[in-house]
Structures are given as C-alpha cells and as structure tokens.
Amino acid sequence: MAKVLAISDMCTVGQCSLTAYVPVISAYGIECCPLATQLYSNHTAGFGSFECVSVLEFCKKAIESFKGKFTFDAILVGYLGGTEFIDLALSALPLLAPGGKLVVDPAMAEKGGLYPVLKSDYTVEISRLLKEADAILPNYYEAQILSGKSDANEAARELAKRYDCDVVVTGVPSDKPSYSDKYVGQIKSIASNAAGEVKEFAHGRVKKDYHGAGDVYAAAFVGEIVRGQDFFEATKAAQDFTFNAVLKTMLDEEHWYGLNFEQLLKTYKD
C-alpha cells in the first residue's frame, strides 16, 4: 500500500490541516501517516479562542526514528507556523521513496497579508523548502507574495520557473460572469507545470469562503498524484472534489467552520 507522510498542524475541531488530510487521502486507498507539528483545540477563524501547543521536539525524534524503517511515496507539507518547522520538513526528505514526491502547501497568508503569527522572514526561509518541492500549492495571495507578481498566471509561471516544479495557484477570483444565479462569479485554479505550460480550471464562486478548503484541495491533489494521475488531471480532480464539498456544505447553514467533505468520501472513490 502506498504511504503519504503528512506534516502539518492538528486541529481537533475545524476540518482543516491533518483532520482533512487523513480522511481524504485515505479515501484513495493510500495510507496517510500524520505528523502533527502543533496541536490546536480548534482553528483560529470564528471560534473566538483556542489552545495550542508545539510538539517540535517530538517531531524531530519521530523523523529520526523513521529513517531506515519507513519510506513514503509522497510527503505533504502544510501549515508550519514558524521558521523552526521548515528545517523539520527538510529533515524528512530522506524518507521519500525513489520517485516519491514532495508537495508543499505554503500555508502562510490570506487576503490582508501574512498570518499574524508569522514573522516577515518566513517568506524567505520557506524558499529553502520550495526549492526541494515537486509541486507547490499556494493560494492566490501566497502566490503574489512569493512571486512578486500580481497576475495569477504570471505568478504561476514565475514560481514554476524559479523552483523548477509544478505549481497550482488556488482560489483565484475571476471577472467572468456566473454560470448561474447560484453563484457570484467564477473562481479558478491556475496550473503551471515545470515546462511553463499553463491551464485554468474554473468553477462557480459561492458567496461564502470556507476555512480549510485549501487543505481539502491539497489532500485530494496528493491522492491523485500518488495514484498515478498526471499534474493537470490531478489539478482538475482536486478542484472538482473541493467544489463538490463546498456545494455539500452549503446545504447546511449551521456548518460554517469548515467543509463537509466527509459526506463525499462514502462514494467518491468507489
């Protein structure tokens, strides 16, 4: 059975980070091995308060203990929360099996700039990890910060060229009209492979943003890559899955804190 090492924070409540990675990747028939860098009681958007503890020293020991015993077909790195965790992620690279892929979601920014907990040097330090990546999955705002380009297509090409890897810029707003009255426009993923070929994948844009959508996308993308899909096929499949999770979540007005993706897993990969 294929294995994925997922390195990110763990939120008990909120359907994001590892609590999204594990079930979605597992739905592909892939063993998802979570390594939690920080433990959160819940995510930081809308709950009012949260508890958090770092387990960095444990993670260092865990990675060292894996060496010589386990290899992984992919490593997915998500939210790290500080520069000290970048070295941790880099230390896990010897665990990749031959042909294994490193996928990085440089979770660090949203509209308005960097997450408040991150220092300004984070954008420079994370480049050390991005240089090793086979694919990176920044959202629209992260792509702008990392590339210095305001246009999403240009940002995708710049990052693919700079890091010699595949890039998907997610959550890109579009000025194209809605597909129907259900939506308030369109939203796109812009994918650029390492050769500079660019493709766009669009869906209707709903009125509400859902926390953790990028994590669901990253997990589905890794599932597709590990099962052998090519880059552009994986990009489209991951966007389709995330969009369908958004539509499912919209049916429950009280489900405001994350995507109700679990309802899709029962049939998604049957």
Give the CATH number for residue 50.
Answer: 3.40.1190.20
Tally of domains within the chain: 1
Out of 17-26, 151-160, 161-170, 207-216, pick the least confident: 207-216
Q: Would you call 253 helix, strand, or coil by DSSP?
A: coil
DSSP letter for 46, please: S
Alpha helices in 148-228 (DSSP H): 152-163, 213-226
Burial tier of 94 (Cβ tally within 10 Å: 0-12, 13-18, 19+): exposed
Mean pLDDT along residues 177-201: 80
Cα 2 to Cα 32: distance, rounded to the nearest angstrom: 9
Q: Would you call 149 helix, strand, or coil by DSSP?
A: coil
Please work out, in degrees rounded to the nearest 5, the angle formed at the alpha carbon of residue 198 by the alpha carbons of 195 and 201.
145
Cα 174 to Cα 24: distance, rounded to the nearest angstrom: 27
Domain that holds residue 216: 3-268
Task: Write down the mean pLDDT value for the chain.
Answer: 90
Name 186's bridge partners.
174, 204
Out of 120-129, 166-175, 225-234, pick the least confident: 166-175
Judge whether 3 and 31 are in contact, CB under 8 Å: yes
Cα 220 to Cα 206: distance, rounded to the nearest angstrom: 20
Query: How many residues belong to the chain?
Result: 270
- Predicted TM-score (pTM) of this structure: 0.93
Checking if the pLDDT of 176 tops 70, the result is no
Region of 34 (left: φ > 0; alpha: ψ -120 to 50; beta: rest) is beta
